[in-house]
Structures are given as structure tokens and as C-alpha cells.
Amino acid sequence: MRLEDIRDNPGASKPKRRLGRGIGSGVGKTSGRGVKGQKARSGVAIKGYEGGQMPIYRRVPRRGFTPRNKIVYQIVNLDGLAKAIEAGKLEAGQTVDRAVLVAAGMARPNGTPIRLLAKGELQAALTLQVHSASAAAIAAIEAAGGSVTVEAKSEEAAG
């Protein structure tokens, strides 16, 4: 085989459609664009245009703002931990950190910080390592005989 013998597979490439080459070509005169008007011309950009009416993106008010350094947490509740223990995904007395929560299907493995909240009740003693926890959740875990370690805030959690 030589370099000049190399070819595309049959049907791999189609020739470019030649527009405006007479009525017999099927794409003559208006070149498949219909008749006159703005959309028949080149350089059309009318995505938000509503025929002279005030566009909806300008009519609808915008309220509030989103802070740039807001920390978005993954939430883990006490009742979720209790259900995971009942289902056998967690064991009482176990040390629970991010890897264990991800393996149990209670947190996503995307690096988002985890916050423990006090919704529900937990009877089993667990040792938890989370990025943040509510005071009520810490009190409930300690009342059940466990402990909560809150990790120091890192730079990646702030961004």
C-alpha cells in the first residue's frame, strides 16, 4: 500500500451542498431559507426577541444574590444513620468518616463537605468525623454514647 492509495470508506464523506445554483438543484433561489425576512439573511441573532414586546428576561424581577464563597454541604441526618445501621451498611461503634458514608451510599464522592444534622433519633454509639455538625446533633450522638469530631475548615471547603 502506498500513500496515494489511501481513500475514505465509501459513504464516509459527503460533498458540501451547493446552494443557490438554480431551481433544478432543489436548493436554488432562496437556498432552503424560505422567503424574505430577517431569518433569510445572514447574521441573525434573535434568541430573546419577542416581536417588540419587552422580553421575559427583562420583565421578570431578579431578587437576592448568591455569595461567591458560600459553602454547600452534603447533609447527613441522624435518622439516615439509624436506617443505615438497621440495613447493615454501618455497624454500631464504628468510626464513620467520608469514605464509610460514601460506601454506605449516604454521601457523594465529589469532595463536598459533609454536615451532620439532628433530624431523627439515633440509639447506637458511633464515632463520626465530619466537616460540620449542629449542636443538637453533637448532643444527640454523645447522649447515645458516641462522639463527633469536626474537621478543621480547609481552603477547598471555602471555595
pLDDT tens, residue by residue, 52-70: 899 998 999 999 998 999 9
Q: Which residues are 77's β-sheet partners?
A: 117
Give the pLDDT of residue 154.
Answer: 55
pLDDT tens digit string along 67-85?
999 999 999 999 999 999 8
CA 134 to chain centre: 26
Predicted confidence band at 19 (pLDDT cuts at 50, 70, 90)? Answer: very high
- Span between the terminal Cα atoms of the chain, in Å: 57
pLDDT(32) > 80 = yes
Half-sphere exposure of residue 148, counting CA atoms within 13 Å on the CB side? 23
Domains of the chain with bracketed CATH? 74-158 (3.100.10.10)
Backbone Cα Rg of the chain: 31
The three three-digit cell numbers of residue 117, written as one number:
444534622
Looking at residues 89-116, what average pLDDT do you find?
90
